């Protein structure tokens, strides 16, 4: 068997070519490369690939205080203590950052304002899952499986999308989740791995077709193959993995003056940037963050939500700055399982709601707009008399990204049972 490509588990092919692109692995120098990598650098070329990053805000983020409908009078009537003040000229008091005369960003998201006005950031409001559940577990499961209301789905929509866009000799790093476990969104027949932290480089890998995570990463997957004749042919693969394991992430220097937050989320986003720059065949990346379930003392311009949004805004801005021209090939999407109630509760917080907002950032994005039909916040316009009503299904948003950015030609398998008519896309991705 050739050392060029080996198959350790059914359907999972390892090729040394994915480690070589534009001069090799970016996180280490040529002097640190084993001989086989140095020999192949000059002869190997890989085309630029479109890349997708998905960030999941677990806990149900308050979309009404993230992207504020300051032009809606009922917003202030229903939130007397936590509403974000209308934009105003002059003065130093924090207030909503005007986007279009009706919607404004929470002041803690100020780093995102220039991205919006430079058409690099789009927002979809009143978006989310149509399922009415107020259970975090069920709602997250539905948004990750891509089949709201159907609990029998075993795999995730992002994994199914990868299966539809097959790649010969695909990199084991094609689909990566930053965290200790594979999220439901990336479970399925296409290979995917979880990286808890690049500083430790502990790898959790999923055996293709099994839906099971194999403890111990690639080495364990390889040792469990039933074809013993393949043993001993994966040395080059593991040597290349060792390159990343032994690279010192502390030496990573973000470009263009970007400064990532020192928080867990900030560092995860920075490591996503590292992986994308490493040119090891990464196409989709997943990261999540918790803390958005603010039933008590949510706060307005300051408080729990504000602190989370500072982290998010600085992290997204740093990522965009760090990637520079690479952003032309990247789309970054945020989502949360549902929104919060339109009215604040008795504890100066909000309870489980329905529709929410999504951010879509990147070079292929027609930014500078808040997309989606606004349903209004009058009492008769609210979902079940209490929540922002849903007017855009999240599957239309990510479906458009998958189709126009990633190249998925048929969404019927990705989102079974959903009307995937492209004419119903929000129109936020350049054709």
pLDDT tens per residue across span 11-21: 333 344 443 33
Residue 31 included in any domain: no
Residue 326 included in any domain: yes
Residue 118: pLDDT band (50, 70, 90) is very high
Residue 42 included in any domain: no
Residue 6 included in any domain: no
What mean pLDDT do residues 395-413 have?
96
Q: How many domains does the chain have?
A: 1
Mean of all residue pLDDT scores within the chain: 84
What mean pLDDT do residues 122-131 have?
98
Is residue 33 pLDDT above 80, yes or no?
no
Q: Residue 341's domain is classified under what CATH number?
A: 3.40.720
Is residue 40 pLDDT above 90, yes or no?
no
Residue 400 included in any domain: yes
Is residue 35 pLDDT above 70, yes or no?
no
Selected residue with higher pLDDT from 75 and 8: 75
Instruction: Collapse the DSSP code of 393 into the 3-class scheme (helix H, G, I; strand E, B; otherwise coil) and give the result.
Output: strand
Residue 33 included in any domain: no
Residue 342: pLDDT band (50, 70, 90) is very high
Q: Model-level pTM?
A: 0.85
pLDDT tens per residue across span 136-156: 999 999 999 999 999 999 999
One DSSP character per residue, 231-249 reads TTS-HHHHHHHHHHHHS-G
Question: What is the pLDDT at residue 215?
Answer: 53
Selected residue with higher pLDDT from 25 and 128: 128
For 106, the domain range is: 49-424
What is the DSSP secondary structure assignment for residue 404, as one 8-state letter?
A: I
Lowest-pLDDT choice from 219-228, 324-333, 383-392 = 219-228
Residues in the chain: 431
Nearest residue to 253 (alpha-carbon basis) of 408, 27, 98: 27
Is residue 39 pLDDT above 70, yes or no?
no
Q: What are the contacts of 268-272 at 24+ separation with CB within 8 A?
A: 268/178, 268/179, 269/55, 269/315, 269/316, 269/318, 269/319, 270/318, 270/319, 270/322, 271/178, 271/195, 271/197, 271/198, 272/53, 272/178, 272/319
pLDDT tens per residue across span 348-359: 999 999 999 999
Is residue 173 pLDDT above 70, yes or no?
yes
pLDDT tens per residue across span 299-317: 999 999 999 999 999 999 9
Residue 397 included in any domain: yes
Residue 26 included in any domain: no
């Amino acid at each position: 068997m050739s050392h060029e490509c080996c198959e350790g588990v059914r359907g999972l092919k390892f090729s040394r070519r994915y480690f070589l692109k534009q001069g090799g692995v970016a996180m280490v120098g040529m002097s640190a490369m084993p001989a086989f990598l140095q020999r192949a650098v000059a002869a190997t070329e890989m085309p630029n690939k479109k890349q997708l990053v998905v960030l999941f805000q677990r806990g149900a983020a308050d979309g009404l205080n993230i992207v504020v409908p300051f032009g809606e009078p009922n917003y202030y009537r229903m939130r007397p203590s936590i509403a974000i003040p209308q934009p105003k000229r002059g003065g130093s008091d924090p207030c909503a950052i005007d986007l279009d005369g009706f919607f404004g960003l929470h002041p803690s998201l100020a780093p995102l304002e220039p991205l919006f006005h430079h058409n690099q950031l789009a927002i979809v409001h009143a978006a989310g899952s149509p399922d009415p559940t107020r259970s975090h577990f069920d709602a997250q499961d539905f948004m990750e499986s891509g089949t709201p209301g159907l609990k029998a789905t075993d795999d995730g929509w992002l994994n199914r999308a990868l299966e539809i866009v097959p790649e010969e000799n695909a990199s084991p790093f094609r689909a990566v989740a930053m965290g200790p476990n594979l999220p439901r969104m990336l479970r399925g027949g296409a290979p995917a791995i979880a990286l808890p932290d690049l500083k430790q480089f502990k790898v959790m890998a999923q055996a293709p077709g099994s839906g099971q995570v194999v403890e111990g990463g690639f080495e364990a997957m390889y040792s469990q193959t039933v074809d013993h004749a393949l043993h001993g042919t994966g040395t080059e693969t593991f040597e290349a993995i060792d390159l990343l394991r032994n690279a010192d992430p502390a030496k990573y220097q973000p470009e263009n003056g970007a400064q990532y937050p020192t928080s867990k989320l900030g560092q995860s986003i920075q490591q996503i940037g590292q992986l994308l720059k490493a040119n090891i065949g990464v196409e989709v990346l997943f990261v999540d963050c918790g803390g958005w379930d603010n039933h008590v003392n949510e706060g307005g311009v300051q408080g729990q939500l504000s602190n989370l949004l500072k982290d998010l805004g600085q992290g997204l801005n740093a990522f965009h700055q760090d990637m520079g021209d690479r952003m032309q090939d990247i789309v970054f999407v945020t989502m949360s399982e549902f929104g919060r109630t339109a009215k604040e509760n008795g504890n100066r917080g909000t309870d489980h709601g329905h529709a929410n907002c999504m951010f879509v950032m990147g070079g292929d994005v027609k930014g500078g707009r808040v997309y989606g039909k606004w349903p209004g916040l009058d009492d008769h316009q609210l979902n079940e008399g209490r929540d922002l009503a849903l007017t855009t299904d999240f599957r239309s948003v990510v479906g458009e990204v998958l189709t126009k950015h990633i190249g998925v030609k048929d969404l019927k398998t990705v989102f079974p049972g959903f009307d995937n008519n492209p004419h119903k896309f929000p129109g936020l991705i350049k054709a």
